[in-house]
Every structure is written in C-alpha cells, then in structure tokens.
A and B are shown apart, each in its own frame.
Chain A
C-alpha cells in the first residue's frame, strides 16, 4: 500500500501578491506552480539542488523554463518512451519535483520506435552535438558579455530581459537534450554489466579520471592559495573573515597587490560562476569575491596541500584496474559487449559530462538575467539591487516597460523577502517526500541521481530518524574516514568546513567541489551513484555515502562520525554534546 503524505500544509497563499497569471506561460505537458490538493495523487520529492529556496523570479525562471520546459522538451525529443519529463511545485519557496509518466501503451510503443532511431544517432554524433550546443550557448554568452548594460537605454531592457530568459530556456533544452541520452546509454551499460556479473559498485569507476572544467577551476583556486602562502599572505587570510578579505589585501599592498591581480585574472576565466545551479538569486564569484576568498582562506589552513595530480593519477589507475578486473571474469562474447559498451560510454561519458557541463551552463546561465535585473533595479531606484528578483515575470516586464516600482510593488517585495526568509529557516523541516509515496520508485533516473531508492524512501518516512546513530546509503566513493561533522544547509556555509571535516548536507552541486580538496569525507541525504557528490568523491578520493535520506536530520553539527564509503555506512561515534562535556571536564 502506498502511503500518502498530505500536501495540505503547503496549499495556502503562495508569495504575497501572487496571482495565477504571474506564472501563465506555454508549457509542454505541465508547468510549475504552488502545490494544490490535486497534486497529492502524485509522488513528489524535495529537490536538493535548491536548499536555500527560490525567489519569485528564480522560482518561475528555473521552476518553469528549466525544470519543466527543459526536461519535458528533451523527453519529447529523444524521446523517453514511458516518461514525459519532470514537473515542479513549490511548498513555500522550496521546489519539489515529480516525474510525468506516459501510460498509454500504444504511445509508449511509438516513442520506443523513435528512441530506436534517435539514440544511436545521438551516440554516433555525440561529440558534434554537444560541441554545437556548447558553441551556440557560448555565442549567446559572448553576446551578453559584450553588452554594457549601463549604456543601454531603459527602453531596451524588456527586450534584454526576454533574451536573457530565452537564453536560459534554450540552455536547458540543450542541457537535458544531451543529458537524457547520455544517461540512458550509461544506465543501459550499467544494466548489461550487472547482468554479466560485474560488481556494480565498480561500474562508476570505469568512466572516472577524465578532467573537467570544474576540476580545473578547483586546481586554479588551489594554486592561488599556494601563491598567497608563498607571497607571505597567510596571516592576512588568517586574521580576516571573508567579507573583509578583499579590503584587507588591498590595504596590505605589496605582494598582495600582485596577488589580487592574479586573483582577478582567475575570476575573468572561472569567476562567472554562481553558488548554485540555475538560481538567478545568487551572485557570481565576480560579483561577490568573498566566496572564493573564503575558500582560499580555508585551503591555507590545511597543513598539507591537496595533491590534485596524485588524486587524478589514482583515479586513472583505479579506473584501469577496475576495468581489467571486470573484463577478466567475462567470456569472450561478453567481453565484446563490454568493450563496445565501455567505448560508447567513454566517448559519450555521462559522469564526465555531468560535472563538466556545469561550467558552460548551470553555474553561469542565469547571470545575464541577473545583471539585467540589477540594472533595472538601479534605474528604478530600488532599495536593493536584488529587488527585481522578488518580482514575478509579468511584474518584472511591467517595471521594465515603465510601470512605477516604488509603492505597491516595492511593498510586495519587502513582504516577499520576509516570506523567503521565513521558508528558508524551515528548510530542514520540509518533508523530503510528499503526495502518494510508492513502495518502490521504478525510474532509474530518480534512483541513481536523486537517490530515491527503497532504503532512502523508508528512511525519510521513519518518525524516529532523528535519533538514529547508524545510517546507510549508497556507497558512492570508497574508503573510510572519521571526523567532525559539519552540517551545511547550503554552499553559503562552505567556509565552516575545516581541513578534515566531514561534510554533511542534503546534496552537493558543482559549486561545492572546492570543498572536496579539504574535507575527509562526505555524507548526503540525496543523490545516488551518479549524483554530483558521488562523481566528485571518486575523482578526489574522498569517502562518500549518498542517498542516506536523513543524514542532515540525524547528524548534528559537531558530532564525531565515521563515513564508510566502501560499504555505504555512516556511524555517529560521539554526539557533539558529549564531546563538549568531555572537553569541559578536561579543563
């Protein structure tokens, strides 16, 4: 029997002043919106990518154009035979997702036939298809970079806003248009390997060891830390908190001036990067230097530098050993299938793409919309440069077209900021799943990326989960580590990680990767074998367990915990309170 988690608590008024027409926009199968009672029939999962919550503009731009349009567009284009993509709903500011099934057997058959033509075509032409998509997006990106918004007449802002929104929407068509076939090919290979008796925990390793733009960013950031140490700036970093660092370095002068020049050069290449995927609400590293500076500050605390080259060498050696071991146990006929599948997946490498594409798409795609909103805020004399992000799309266009902002709209923005803060504080208490919960989720995408396996679904429904001291999840990256847990709600708190900390969070996104250069282990509520933390954990050699379901609930900040990434176990060794008592007694 499926259990039902009621949605009633989240069907009341949405953002202050919200009207249904605020989110009226074409959609393919289903568009976004706040929860209604009818949604209770479906199975909803709290999406870990947006743990801060989303502002009205972010909720619409991402929740509608990205989440709904992007996935549903790609699910039609490939197509996915039994699924039509994903849709989204909001409980307060928090995004829930739900897969849209296709149940008509005739339609499923017709879609399967189309897949039979389109998937091989995609795999044969993958390099070209992805390069073409990336070039298209980079061209649009270059177009936006070439615009000096301060010089544009206000009358052009509506057009620029529309272009920026379209850029994101197009990005998501390309994003999911590449991701779905890559994922389908990978999961098919995975199934074939499993059936040939290959240890499934090894399969992720076959495709690791390929460098990505995200790892390259981490290395460059680390180099800056080493340069800072060599330039004798360690004390400046140690003595100042991230918000004051830039100013302190400027004041310091001398070697710090050259270092800041290097830092700014770094930012010009790697700094168009937000602290979450596709969230217009967040600044880039260029807009807010304290994020990269804070990361460099914590890198300097490490006694030994993270050896990126050694980690990369290990990842490659581990890959080759895993492939050899798997092939040895296969018959000649099976080896032929394995080799062809491996070659296909190495050429069109899903785990690699899953990290690399974020540099080109997810981490910067919302910036043109954000910049234009900030310019508009400036023109209308808003109190805060981010005020426009608290408007819904039609309201934003109205303001760009000359409707007065001060007054009714600015009042609403104040209320909506409060609403956002209210829901942000409730994040940890949000149900992880809602609506009609199936005994077992069947969609491998939800299982492998979101970690909605039967064990995790059971764990999140356990009323006593907060008191659990042993937790289990997906063994995502091997090894065992013990350390003090740092439970982070979002990457805004990355600076709280110390060398040797165990990162505990809902899940990581590409913007979290620099943390893997200093942590000893990672534990995530969500994710699976193919989620971000799993992929990065394997590349960095950090013991990682994903899909625990209730890690952020059961583990408290400061607990001493053990992460066993080989067996997928997490053990709370000592509670933070006990450790504090012991410390007090020792004094």
Chain B
C-alpha cells in the first residue's frame, strides 16, 4: 500500500522515508525497522503538499504575500503575512483525489487499530526540522486527539499552514531560505491512550554527562511536559547497569488529558490525588531506559525521545516511542565523570583553582 501521496510508517523504504515523509515521520520508520515499538500511522507526503500548493494556485498567492514583505520586515508585518497565508491554507480545499486517499488511509488506520474514528495525532513533519539548529525544533503544529476523517483532513491543512507561522517565516527570512526549499509532510498517527508519558535523554540534557539516562514524566499525554507547562517527575538511570539512581517526585499541577466533548487533548488541572504521586514504577523506568539505550546504540549518537506508556501496556511490554531526535548538548570536559580517581587532577580542579569547593 502507499502512493505518491501516502506512505505508511511500517511499509515505506527507510532510505526514502525522510525525503517522502519528513524527518519526524522518517525517524519513526527508522525506529520501527530497528525493532523499537512505535505507533501505527501514515504520512501525507511532501509530494502531496507540493502538488496541493501548485494545483490549487496557493503557490502564487503565497508568493504575492511574501513579496510584500521585502527583506527586512517588521515583526508586525511578518505576523500579518503569517495570518494571511494560514488563512489561505484554511480556505483552499484539497483536491478530491487527495482527500479520498487520506480518507482511505485513515479508514485503514481505524481497521488496523480495530477502532471506529480512531483518535490520532496529526503532526507536522518538516524536512530539515530536526536539523542542528535546535531553535527550529517544535516550531510547527501538532494536533492531538483528532478523530474522524473530516477532522483529519482539516488538521492536515492546518499543519501545512503551520509552515508559515510568524516564527517560521521570520526564521526563513533571516536565513534567506525559500519555503520551497523546506516542504512539509504531515503524519497521521494512532493516538496512544496514554497513562503516562514524557521525554527521555540518553545523556544528561544539561551537563551532557553520558553515563546516565534522564527521564522526565507526568500523567497523561506528553504535551504539558514538552511545552513546559508542568513540573515533571525527574528520574535518572545508570546507563551501564540500568540501575535507578534517583527519582524526584514533583508536584504536577497540570495534565494533558483527552477532552471527549471537544475531541482533542487539552491541558487541565491535575487531579489532586495524582499531583504528588510517583508516576513510574521501576519496571516502567527500566523499559523506558532500555528503549532509549537501544535507540542511541542504533543511531550511534545521543538522542532524546518522546515516549508513551499506554493504558493497555503490561509489565514486560516495550514502551511506545512517538518521537526521537539527536541531542545537541555535549559534555563539557570538566563535567565528564573521570575514568579513575585522580587525586592530582582533583586537587588542581577543587583545591588550587582559586574557587570555593562546589556545594559549599
């Protein structure tokens, strides 16, 4: 299955996945091939986006708005252009052929998940989004809990439009990049029914220490953590032996939960009984650490991942990885755990450096 417009995570040739499905979806395919548990899903390809822009005449109308901006526009002018262009995406319908293909793929996804109107995560998957410039990550839209073919179609168009958020526009103008140079794909992925989720790093995200895996977690979906809305539980695990080093339980005041009336995931106040409760048990921590370690080994460089523990997961099952990307932080030489106890080096560092001892 799969066409020029649709590729499935578990079916596309991994060598072609990045180009067709963007980096976010391409990585899911790579992870799947590496044996990591990832959600079911498909991507509306870069080609589909390109064809939509060309055939509907959007390209010309976008060019026109951008040409008004000139080379050094004000923030207000960029924001204004963004609103105009995103409006164009909202009002420009898809070709019937593409809409039919996406609808067909969505119905196939429902079948695979044995569900009616399966809730999905509709995610932008830009080309170059995960490039070394970390400021670019997370700049495009994601919609969680999108259910039903029509809503999926709308969400896909909104994701396309998010290639033209004010931030993205300003970024490209500053760097002199044409939007044609970074077309966007959109992933439509089964929304895992999350009991808990979070992020995990295969090195310490601040110090870069490579000897540990750091996990941050809260109840429900991961949006509240990714967006920094909740103070998550902080967990550290020794990479070599998988031993739990520390588990700091945080007071978690916000949770990303499924709003059934609205049909989407949204942030609400954390129920009091869950706020101070430890999210993960040791088995779950081990499963997350094992997945992160495997992904780092697969790629050969440090990674951060977003993971979900499904309501249906049983002890021993793998956790579900919904995103992975390279970590850019590297350990400062002085932050690395030395290979051995070296009293001379330690004396130079702590006694004769002219600085007070740490922790005093």
In the bound complex, do residue B212 and residue A188 qualify as a contact, i.e. CB atoms below 8 Å apart? no
Cross-chain contact of B356 among A184, A189, A331, A444 (Cβ < 8 A): A444
**B354→A440 contact, CB < 8 A:** no
Choose among B246, B339, B346 the residue that contacts A191 (Cβ–Cβ < 8 A): B346
Stretch binding the partner chain, chosen from A115-123, A133-141, A390-398, A533-541: A115-123
CB distance from A133 to the nearest CB of B (A): 20
Judge if A329 is at the interface, Cβ distance under 8 Å. Answer: yes
Quick check: A185 and B343 within 8 Å, CB to CB?
yes
Residues of chain A within 8 A (CB-CB) of B246 are 329
Let me know if A120 and B344 touch, CB within 8 A: yes
CB-defined interface of A180-197 with B at 8 Å, one 1/0 digit per residue? 000011011111101110
| Those of A332-348 within 8 Å (CB) of chain B | 332-334, 336-338, 340-341, 344
The 0/1 profile, CB within 8 Å of A marked 1, for residues 171-204 of chain B is: 0000000000000000000000000000000000
List the B residue with the shortest CB-CB distance to A187.
B351
CA distance A472 to B239 in the complex (A): 40
**B347, A188: Cβ atoms under 8 Å?**
yes
Are the CB atoms of A190 and B341 closer together than 8 Å? no
Contact call A119/B343, Cβ cutoff below 8 A: yes
* CB nearest neighbor in B for A191: B350
Q: Is there an interface contact between B337 and A444, defined as CB atoms closer than 8 Å?
A: no
A328, chain B: closest CB distance, angstroms: 7
List residues of chain A with CB within 8 A of the CB of B245.
328-331
Measured in the bound complex, the distance between the Cα atoms of B344 and A83 in whole Å is 16
Mark contacts of A48-60 with chain B using CB atoms, 8 A cut-off: 1 yes-contact digit, 0 otherwise.
0000000000000
B contact residues around A341 at 8 Å (CB): 341, 343, 346
Interface residues of B in 240-263 (CB under 8 A from A): 240-241, 243, 245-246
- Which residues from chain A contact B228 at a C-beta distance below 8 Å? none
Q: Does B340 contact A (CB under 8 A)?
A: yes
A-contacting residues, B329-360, CB 8 Å: 337-341, 343-344, 346-352, 354-360
Interface residue? A256 (CB, 8 A) = no
B239 contact set on A, CB distance < 8 A: 331
Q: Does B238 contact A (CB under 8 A)?
A: yes
Q: A332-B241, A337-B337, A344-B343 are in contact. Are A442 and B351 (CB under 8 A)?
A: no
The reply to whether A442 and B355 form a contact with Cβ atoms under 8 Å apart is: yes
Considering the chains assembled together, what is the distance between the CA atoms of A82 and B344 in angstroms?
14
Structural contact, A81 and B352, CB atoms closer than 8 A = yes
CB–CB B341/A112 < 8 A? no
- With A115-B344, A329-B245, A334-B211 known as contacts, the answer to whether A447 contacts B337 (CB < 8 A) is no
In the complex, chain B residues whose CB is within 8 Å of the CB of A162: none
**Contact string, A392-433, partner B, CB cutoff 8 A, digits 1/0?**
000000000000000000000000000000000000000000
Which of chain B's residues have a CB closer than 8 A to the CB of A349?
none
* Interchain CB contact (< 8 A) of A336 among B340, B343, B355, B358: B340
Residues of B within 8 A of A447 (CB): 356-357, 360
Query: Which chain A positions have C-beta within 8 A of B240?
Result: 331-333
Kindly list chain A residues whose C-beta atoms are within 8 Å of the C-beta of B339.
333
Size of the B side of the interface (Cβ < 8 Å), in residues, is 30
User: Chain B at the A interface: mostly helix, strand, loop or mixed?
Assistant: loop
* Cβ-neighbour of A344 out of B338, B341, B358 (below 8 A): B341
Q: Does any Cβ of B come within 8 Å of A200's Cβ?
A: yes
Q: In the complex, A582→B164 CA distance in Å? A: 79
**A442 vs B212: C-alpha distance in the bound complex, in angstroms?**
32
**Cα distance, A112 to B351, chains bound together (Å):** 12
Q: Which residues of B contact A83 (CB under 8 A)?
A: 352
Contact check, A331 vs B347: say whether CB atoms are below 8 A apart: no
Residue of B nearest to A111 (CB): B352
> A81-B352, A329-B245, A442-B356 given as contacts; is B347 within 8 A of A334 (CB)?
no
| Given A331-B211, A337-B337, A337-B338; A190-B352 close (CB under 8 Å) | no
Count of interface residues, chain A, beta-carbon cutoff 8 Å: 41
With a cutoff of 8 Å between Cβ atoms, the chain A residues found around residue B352 in the complex are 80-83, 112
Bound CA span A382–B80, Å:
102
Is there a chain B Cβ closer than 8 Å to A453's Cβ? yes
Instruction: Please name all residues of chain A whose beta carbon is closer than 8 Å to the beta carbon of B357 when the two chains form the complex.
Output: 187, 190-191, 194, 200, 444, 447-448
The reply to whether A81 and B348 form a contact with Cβ atoms under 8 Å apart is: yes
- Inside 8 A of A453's CB, which chain B residues have their CB? 356, 360
Q: Are B354 and A82 in contact (CB under 8 A)?
A: yes
Residue of B nearest to A445 (CB): B351
In the assembly, what is the distance between CA of A576 and CA of B211, in Å?
57
Contact A188-B350, Cβ < 8 Å, known A200-B360, A330-B245, A344-B343:
yes
**Residues in A whose Cβ lies below 8 Å from that of B350:** 187-188, 190-192, 444
**Which residues of the other chain, A, contact B238 by a CB distance below 8 angstroms?**
330-332
Which A130-163 residues have a C-beta within 8 angstroms of B? Answer: none
**A116 vs B345: C-alpha distance when bound (angstroms):** 8
B337, B347, B354: the one contacting A185 at CB < 8 Å is B347
User: Nearest-CB distance from A549 to chain B (Å)?
Assistant: 16
- Proximity bits, A90-128, B CB within 8 Å = 1, else 0: 000000000000000000000010011001100100000
- Whether A440 lies near B337 (C-beta < 8 A) is no
B216-246 vs A, CB cutoff 8 Å, 1 = contact: the mask equals 0000000000000000000000111101011
A184 CA to B348 CA, complexed, in Å: 9
Give the residues in chain B near A334, CB-CB below 8 Å: 211, 337
The smallest beta-carbon distance between B228 and chain A, in angstroms, is 23
Closest chain B residue, CB of each to CB of A201:
B359
Tell me whether A187 and B347 are in contact (CB under 8 A): yes
Bound-complex Cα distance A48 to B119 (A): 73
Provide the bound-state CA to CA distance between A442 and B352, in Å.
Answer: 9
User: Binary interface profile of A, 71-82, with partner B (CB < 8 Å = 1, else 0)?
Assistant: 000000000111
Contact B211 A188 (CB under 8 A): no
CA distance A139 to B199 in the complex (A): 67
Q: B337's contact among A119, A333, A448, by CB below 8 Å, is which?
A: A333
Of the candidates B351, B355, B356, the one whose C-beta lies within 8 Å of that of A188 is B351
Query: Once the chains bind, are B351 and A331 in contact (CB under 8 Å)?
Result: no
Residues of B close to A116: CB separation below 8 A:
344
Complex CA–CA separation, A576 to B356 (angstroms) = 38
What are 29 A-B contacts defined by CB distance under 8 Å?
A81-B348, A81-B352, A82-B352, A112-B352, A119-B347, A120-B344, A184-B351, A187-B347, A187-B357, A188-B347, A188-B350, A190-B350, A191-B349, A194-B358, A195-B358, A200-B359, A331-B239, A331-B243, A331-B337, A332-B238, A333-B211, A333-B339, A336-B341, A337-B341, A338-B341, A341-B343, A444-B357, A447-B360, A453-B356
The 10 closest A-B pairs by CB, nearest first: A191-B350, A188-B346, A340-B341, A194-B359, A200-B359, A194-B358, A331-B238, A332-B240, A331-B211, A341-B341
Q: A332-B211, A444-B356 are in contact. List 4 more A-B contacts (CB 8 A).
A: A115-B347, A187-B350, A188-B349, A344-B341
